[in-house]
Chain A
Amino acid sequence: MFEFSYLKANSLSEAAAFVAAHPDAKLLAGGMTLLPTLKQRLAQPSHLVDVGRLPELGGIELKAGRLAIGAATRHHDVATSAVVRNAIPALAYLASHIGDPQVRNCGTLGGSVANNDPAADYPAAVLALDAIIVTTQREIAAADFFQGMFATALEAGEIIVRVLFPVPKRAAYEKFPHPASGYAMAGAFVAEMATGVRVAVTGAGPGVFRWSEAESALAQNLNVAAVDKLTLDATDLNEDFHATREYRANLAKVMTKRALQKMLATK
Chain B
Amino acid sequence: MTDTHAANRREDLRLITGRGRYVADSNLPHQLHACFLRADRAHAEIVTINTEPALKCRGVVAVFTGADAIAANYKQFPNMMTFTNASGATILKPERPVLAHGKVRFVGEAVAMVVAESALAAQDALDAIAIVYRDLPVAVSVEDALAAGAAQLHANVPGNLCFEWDTGDAAAVERAFAKAAHVTRLTVVSQRVVPSPMELRGCLIGYDGASDSYDIYTNSQGILMMRWQFAALTGVPEEKLRFHLHDVGGSFGQRSAVYPEHAAQMIAAKKLGRPIKWVASRSECFLSDSHGRGIVMAGELALDRDSRFTAARYQFLCDMGAYLTPTGPASHVRNPAIGMTGVYRIPALHGNFKVVLTNTAPVAAYRGAGRPDVAYMVERLVDQAASELKIERDELRRRNFIPLDAFPYKTPTMGVYEASDFAGCLGKALQAADWNGFDPRREKSRKAGKLRGIGLSTVIEGTAAGMFPKDQVAIEFDAQGRLEVYTVSLSTGQSHETTFTEIVAQTLGVAPEAVTLRESVQGKNLSGNHSGGSRSLVGCGSVCKLAAQKLIEQAKPLAAEELELEPSQLDYADGAFRSRDGEKMIGLLELAKKLVGTNPHPLNLMAEASVGSTYPNGCHVAEVEIDPETGVTEILSYTAVDDAGIVINHSVVEGQVHGGVTQGAGQVFGEHAVYDRESGQLLTGSFSDYYMPRAGWIRDIHVNDHPLPSKVNVLGAKGAGESGCTASLPSLVSAVLDAVRPLGIQHLDMPLTPSKMWHAIQTAKAE
Which A residues fall within an 8 A CB radius of B? 1-3, 40, 176, 179-181, 240-244, 246-247, 250-251, 254
Bound Cα distance from A176 to B590, whole angstroms: 65
Instruction: Point out the residue from B124, B629, B670, B759 that lies within 8 Å of A180, measured CB to CB.
Output: B670
Bound Cα distance from A247 to B689, whole angstroms: 17
Contact, CB under 8 Å: B755 / A180: no
Q: Is B307 on the interface with A (CB-CB < 8 A)?
A: no
- Contact pattern, B 424-459, Cβ under 8 Å of A = 1, otherwise 0: 000000000000000000000000000000000000
| 8 A–B pairs (Cβ distance < 8 Å), ordered by A | A2-B124, A176-B630, A179-B691, A181-B689, A240-B683, A241-B683, A247-B755, A247-B758
Contact, CB under 8 Å: A244 / B689: no
CB contacts under 8 Å to A, within B665-689, are 670, 674, 683, 687-689
For B127, the closest partner residue in chain A by CB is A41
With most chain A CB atoms within 10 A of its CB, the pick from B283, B630, B670, B759 is B630
Shortest Cβ-Cβ A-B pairs, 10 listed? A243-B755, A181-B688, A247-B755, A180-B691, A254-B629, A179-B691, A179-B670, A241-B674, A180-B689, A247-B758
Contact, CB under 8 Å: A40 / B283: yes
- Contact pattern, B 119-137, Cβ under 8 Å of A = 1, otherwise 0: 0100010000000000000
Contact, CB under 8 Å: A251 / B674: no
Q: With a CB–CB cut-off of 8 A, which chain B residues contact A247? A: 631, 754-755, 758-759
- Contact pattern, B 736-763, Cβ under 8 Å of A = 1, otherwise 0: 0000000000000000011100110000
Within the complex, what minimum Cβ distance (angstroms) separates A1 from chain B? 8
Known: A180-B670, A251-B630. A243 touches B283 (CB 8 A): no
Instruction: Point out the residue from A40, A240, A243 that lies within 8 Å of B754, measured CB to CB.
Output: A243
Q: Is B690 on the interface with A (CB-CB < 8 A)?
A: yes
Bound Cα distance from A132 to B689, whole angstroms: 33
Contact, CB under 8 Å: A242 / B629: no
For B687, the closest partner residue in chain A by CB is A180
Q: With a CB–CB cut-off of 8 A, which chain A residues contact B755? A: 242-244, 247
Q: With a CB–CB cut-off of 8 A, which chain A residues contact B690? A: 180
With most chain A CB atoms within 10 A of its CB, the pick from B283, B691, B754, B759 is B754
Contact, CB under 8 Å: B687 / A254: no
Tally A-B pairs: CB < 8 A: 42
Contact, CB under 8 Å: B630 / A244: no
Q: Is B510 on the interface with A (CB-CB < 8 A)?
A: no
Q: Is B692 on the interface with A (CB-CB < 8 A)?
A: yes
Contact, CB under 8 Å: B692 / A180: yes
Q: With a CB–CB cut-off of 8 A, which chain A residues contact B630? A: 176, 250-251, 254
Q: With a CB–CB cut-off of 8 A, which chain A residues contact B759? A: 244, 246-247
Bound Cα distance from A227 to B57, whole angstroms: 61
- Contact pattern, B 502-539, Cβ under 8 Å of A = 1, otherwise 0: 00000000000000000000000000000000000000
Q: With a CB–CB cut-off of 8 A, which chain B residues contact A246? A: 759
For B669, the closest partner residue in chain A by CB is A179
Q: With a CB–CB cut-off of 8 A, which chain B residues contact A40? A: 283
Bound Cα distance from A247 to B755, whole angstroms: 6
CB contacts under 8 Å to A, within B346-376, are none
Which B residues fall within an 8 A CB radius of A? 120, 124, 283, 629-631, 670, 674, 683, 687-692, 753-755, 758-759
Q: With a CB–CB cut-off of 8 A, which chain A residues contact B687? A: 180-181
Known: A40-B283, A250-B758. A179 touches B753 (CB 8 A): yes
Q: With a CB–CB cut-off of 8 A, which chain B residues contact A3? A: 124
Q: With a CB–CB cut-off of 8 A, which chain B residues contact A181? A: 687-689
For B283, the closest partner residue in chain A by CB is A40
Within the complex, what minimum Cβ distance (angstroms) separates B29 from chain A? 27
Bound Cα distance from A191 to B405, whole angstroms: 70
Bound Cα distance from A2 to B127, whole angstroms: 11
For B58, the closest partner residue in chain A by CB is A3
Within the complex, what minimum Cβ distance (angstroms) separates A239 from chain B? 10
For A181, the closest partner residue in chain B by CB is B688
Q: With a CB–CB cut-off of 8 A, which chain A residues contact B691? A: 179-180
Within the complex, what minimum Cβ distance (angstroms) separates A126 from chain B? 23
Within the complex, what minimum Cβ distance (angstroms) separates A176 from chain B? 6
Bound Cα distance from A100 to B283, whole angstroms: 21
Bound Cα distance from A231 to B283, whole angstroms: 39
Contact, CB under 8 Å: A179 / B688: no
For A241, the closest partner residue in chain B by CB is B674
Bound Cα distance from A242 to B754, whole angstroms: 9
Q: With a CB–CB cut-off of 8 A, which chain B residues contact A244? A: 755, 759
Bound Cα distance from A181 to B689, whole angstroms: 6
Contact, CB under 8 Å: B688 / A180: yes
Q: With a CB–CB cut-off of 8 A, which chain B residues contact A254? A: 629-630
Q: With a CB–CB cut-off of 8 A, which chain A residues contact B688? A: 180-181
Bound Cα distance from A105 to B166, whole angstroms: 58
For A239, the closest partner residue in chain B by CB is B755
Q: With a CB–CB cut-off of 8 A, which chain A residues contact B120? A: 1
Q: With a CB–CB cut-off of 8 A, which chain B residues contact A241? A: 674, 683
Q: With a CB–CB cut-off of 8 A, which chain B residues contact A2? A: 124
For A253, the closest partner residue in chain B by CB is B629
Bound Cα distance from A40 to B284, whole angstroms: 11
Contact, CB under 8 Å: B689 / A242: yes
Bound Cα distance from A254 to B628, whole angstroms: 11
Since A180-B688, A244-B759, A246-B759 are in contact, a sample of 14 more A-B pairs with Cβ atoms closer than 8 Å, ordered by chain A residue number, is A2-B124, A40-B283, A179-B670, A180-B687, A180-B691, A180-B692, A181-B688, A241-B683, A242-B689, A243-B753, A244-B755, A247-B754, A247-B755, A247-B758
Bound Cα distance from A181 to B692, whole angstroms: 9
For A258, the closest partner residue in chain B by CB is B629
Q: With a CB–CB cut-off of 8 A, which chain B residues contact A251? A: 630
Bound Cα distance from A40 to B606, whole angstroms: 51
Bound Cα distance from A250 to B628, whole angstroms: 11
Within the complex, what minimum Cβ distance (angstroms) separates B71 from chain A? 31
Bound Cα distance from A95 to B689, whole angstroms: 22
Bound Cα distance from A246 to B755, whole angstroms: 9
Bound Cα distance from A243 to B688, whole angstroms: 14
Bound Cα distance from A1 to B119, whole angstroms: 11
With most chain A CB atoms within 10 A of its CB, the pick from B283, B629, B687, B690 is B629
Within the complex, what minimum Cβ distance (angstroms) separates B620 from chain A? 23
Within the complex, what minimum Cβ distance (angstroms) separates A210 from chain B? 22
Bound Cα distance from A130 to B219, whole angstroms: 54
Q: With a CB–CB cut-off of 8 A, which chain B residues contact A243? A: 753-755
Within the complex, what minimum Cβ distance (angstroms) separates A43 from chain B? 14
